[in-house]
Structure 1
């Protein structure tokens, strides 16, 4: 970081993009957003670098939420305070909130929600942040989103109950959480698959039992 700051003081272009042959294609602001030391990010903001400028579909805010398991709350807060768009999406249609739900700490998701991130935004596969949380079995984040108004059947998207039923672990906690929040046990996706189909396909006996007990 010290060397980067010295180069900026010496006249290096903060807007310069990576050369095509470079392996890491993140822009300088995106790289600065994932560093533990925020001095470079703050200096780029002082120099009026556009915090919403995407490079290969990646903005600094998307990088801060995607490229760190803990979500980089300090960087996220700094970017949001300086105009970063919480509704921007990457090339796969994922918003910062889609990435933030992988973290066990809801702090970043809370920051994004307070900045008017769309709770039911859909990625290119029709999955909402709530569905992503269920896919990775992050029930703490799923509960956080549900309590703040996320829908189990987002308009135009796949029913989230299917994601909870097909998660990697045979853990009925997610299905039970969604059913408690009024998810329809017989909801189907565009291919007419139900949560019971997904659980059976994944070999999840405990989840199948929970769904049958709920009326599937």
Structure 2
């Protein structure tokens, strides 16, 4: 269970809780057992304890049967102290957090206030969260309610990746669409590769694949896209998930997938995910509330493989967001911080699919921003038939950067007051003729492969 407005049967200031806390503080196990076994009613009673209870205080005797999955330790513990399998304990107290009040009352953004948070839990939730299937089975056999009120349930906890626990709870009629206090269904908690079995079990028991949840109004497909879970996405799409469903920010799953930051080892899985979404009809140029397309977001991470995939599916290389930024502007903003991603490949892909180049007067600004990425500057400079080079540009380049990439910068400033070579002008003429279809048509020309690459703006390290 988590943050909730659920009222406990025994609140913190009740006489029973005060006596129970006193017994807990004194480590009087006999008195604790007597209170719980003889005075706590009904069977589903919710007890509110402060953060110095046996679930929080490191010096207290924690129930290892619950935390470690030791069923032999759990059975006598339940028999001696916690005969009600649904007893609820609070594990966090007096922790402040920002919460939003009703937008209906306070406008679109609501009213944010700093309030105390209450955290409730049950033995069943703890066992499910740690993947202790034997403990879950035992507690359910003792009558534990799989949908005990108060917020995040045992099924939510199991969906962190414990398939056996999830199936046990579902077999005992846990609600597959139970919403937590944050408005999340169990499917929204299937956020890891290990949770695929949990997602399959939920859908087998009738979970809705279209359900939106949380502040972001995400569907399970959005969650899978955010986490780069291609197999989860395949499962949801096969079960009828709407591929272009929008979340609270107007994003589709494809947009979410393209905007998420990835570790290098996750790029392949993300590419497979996006290809899967596009094969299922995802709109390659879908805009969010800021008019940003998936291509804007892919370029913001300098992901050239993803950018090429989107461009091949019809993404607009010249699209502008509400701020007037194009995908090219996004990758140029990122280039210096993403050298390991080879941002010149993304710039090259954009130009080969018809992206407008940077306004010539803005080139010095790009030079200053991307000085440490000369390959990006080379591709950009070669997108112009002719650009007047100024000696004053040298002041924009840090000396150590100039020395590190000396051959390129020497070739750049050698073009001051000098026309470009005829070969470059012929390249520009061909590119102007083919326009947005450069990527498709230039490889069809009867030219040697190195010359085709030259026309496609392949960086060479120097300018001519």
Q: TM-score, normalised by structure 2?
A: 0.39
Deviates more, 1:75-84 or 1:142-151: 142-151
Superposition map of 1:189-204 within 5 A = 189-202=247-260, 204=270
Mapped partners of 1:118, 1:189: distance in 2: 24
Mapped partners of 1:23, 1:88: distance in 2: 19
RMSD of aligned C-alpha atoms? 3.1
Instruction: Give the strand-richer structure, 1 or 2.
Output: 2
SS in 2 for 1:211: helix
SS in 1 for 2:275: helix
Given the alignment, which residue of 56, 60, 76 partners 1:24? Answer: 56
Question: Who is 2:121 aligned against?
Answer: 58
Superposition map of 1:95-174 within 5 A = 95-104=153-162, 106-133=163-190, 135-137=191-193, 138-154=195-211, 158-167=218-227, 170-174=228-232
Q: Displacement, 1:34?
A: 2.4
On the 8 A contact 1:61/1:86 being kept in 2, the answer is yes
Question: Who is 2:237 aligned against?
Answer: 179
Residue deviations 1:120-164, cap 9 Å, x none? 11223332211211x223222212222221111226663111001
The question of 1:215 aligning with 2:281 is answered yes
The question of 1:45 aligning with 2:102 is answered no
Residue deviations 1:35-80, cap 9 Å, x none? 44334432243346222121110111111112x2xx1111111111
Instruction: Give the helix-richer structure, 1 or 2.
Output: 2
On the 8 A contact 2:63/2:77 being kept in 1, the answer is no
Mapped partners of 1:212, 1:33: distance in 2: 45
The question of 1:75 aligning with 2:75 is answered no
SS in 1 for 2:276: helix
SS in 2 for 1:63: helix
Mapped partners of 1:34, 1:23: distance in 2: 10
Structure having greater relative contact order (Cα 8 Å, sep ≥ 6)? 1
On the 8 A contact 1:89/1:96 being kept in 2, the answer is no
Mapped partners of 2:57, 2:210: distance in 1: 36
On the 8 A contact 1:31/1:60 being kept in 2, the answer is no
Q: Displacement, 1:29?
A: 8.2
Question: Who is 2:30 aligned against?
Answer: 11
Change (3 A) 1:39 1:140: closer
Q: How many pairs were matched up?
A: 200
